[in-house]
Structure 1
């Protein structure tokens, strides 16, 4: 394992399980001091996997006060921030437009869109202070393809993709790179609530299997490192070929 993140401070939201947990552990393995943020309490379990490198922070990204308090703590305890993995998100109810209630719609947008915006908003000044850095947002294959029975989720991830491009353009000259990872069907707890099993879901993937969180973490580690120094404003699809055609 390389040490691409030695002396770096990395924030991962939605770090309690799945992709977020895998990325927090991978960044710590590569030398980072990691802030693992989540609303569930499982951020403590993530921190326990690497107690010398990962610090758990409870944060609801739908609450601006929580986000502000998290960044205040990062500034006070770590004094800098170098990389952000903006991962917290929810899928929302699996219903069509006319069945979608306003409260559920607002909840998806508050977490997936407004929460992602607020993390970017608070992260930028800290990245500017160290001369640049990397923000990686979790978008989705649903940012470019519709998903039956999930009316709010694809629009929210489409917004994340455009937010990625906008921020990348606005801060390119400041040395801040902003990219998005667009996962397909990854073996995470979210899929456990699907109406069909993992074996059936795998039939929708040309490669014939689900992706693993650790595979997404490998991509995130590259994008967050100096090796990706000339890459910004892009969406990287990691989906086993799901969006080929």
Structure 2
């Protein structure tokens, strides 16, 4: 997938969590291609380093969003290296599979998914906000999920993503007086490394998407870049669906009605 090689983010400094692969890595590539300096962070330093190595004006750092000190160190590192921080992308997440019965679900897995996917975004926003406000063009874009709006399984992950959509709205109101915009991208199924070895599943899932395919990481990166850019300067507190029409059109129902 190609996109215009513009300098829309020249002079911008961006911090992305969970950027070692998948959506986070694609987002790092997109910002770098448009002129930004990018701090690629991930709990796996090897993955972060591999992503940053292919980009110009990019650095890698290990960041565990479940640890306040790690988050604050990442923000401080970005500001020290780049001299500023303009954009925060909250992409890090955790998703444990559901147990067959809800009563078999352990507290640890539930807590981990909420801590990384929801509280981790709060920790990052808390640490970054003073610097985003100082930049004069600060933006936070978080990666949600259609799971936060409709039942697609994964109780804890879904609850965390629903909470992240709410946090986006409340944080947008809190940050607006300081000139910082806060928005959420809500993806459907995206072809990330988490689906490796299950390509047949993706082929079947593509049939329920009105646009006839699952998403690619670059689809989400393009939406993140838009919401972070000056093109979206009057947009805050919004959730942007990037889901191939999944939530708008009940393809399975239509097929059942029309089935002869």
> TM-score scaled by structure 1?
0.95
**Aligned counterparts of 2:68 and 2:82: Cα–Cα separation in 1:** 21
Partner of 1:136: 141
Of 8, 17, 21 in structure 2, the residue corresponding to residue 13 of structure 1 is 17
Partner of 1:100: 105
Give 5+ residue unaligned stretches, structure 1. Answer: none
Q: Deviations over 1:194-232 (max 9, x none)?
A: 696211121232222111111111111111111100000
Q: How does 1:162-241 map to 2 (within 5 A)?
A: 162-192=166-196, 197-241=201-245
**Aligned counterparts of 1:100 and 1:196: Cα–Cα separation in 2:** 28
- Structure number with greater Rg is 2
Aligned length: 243
The structural deviation recorded for 1:90 is 1.7
C-alpha contact 2:40 2:60 (8 A) present in aligned 1? yes
Q: Deviations over 1:141-160 (max 9, x none)?
A: 11111123x11111100000
Matched residue SS, 1:116: helix
**Aligned counterparts of 2:226 and 2:175: Cα–Cα separation in 1:** 20
Partner of 1:53: 57
> TM-score scaled by structure 2?
0.90
Q: Deviations over 1:142-187 (max 9, x none)?
A: 1111123x11111100000000000101111221100000000011
**Aligned counterparts of 2:39 and 2:209: Cα–Cα separation in 1:** 33
Q: Deviations over 1:57-105 (max 9, x none)?
A: 1111111111111112122222210011110002212324222111101
More displaced 10-residue stretch of structure 1: 39-48 or 22-31: 39-48
Of 124, 133, 138 in structure 1, the residue corresponding to residue 129 of structure 2 is 124
Give 5+ residue unaligned stretches, structure 2. Answer: 250-260
**Aligned counterparts of 1:239 and 1:132: Cα–Cα separation in 2:** 28
The structural deviation recorded for 1:107 is 0.7
C-alpha contact 1:198 1:210 (8 A) present in aligned 2? yes
Q: How does 1:20-99 map to 2 (within 5 A)?
A: 20-40=24-44, 41-50=46-55, 52-95=56-99, 96-99=101-104
Of 141, 150, 157 in structure 2, the residue corresponding to residue 145 of structure 1 is 150
Matched residue SS, 2:83: coil
Matched residue SS, 1:77: helix
For the aligned residues, what is the CA RMSD? 1.5
Matched residue SS, 1:44: helix
Matched residue SS, 2:10: coil
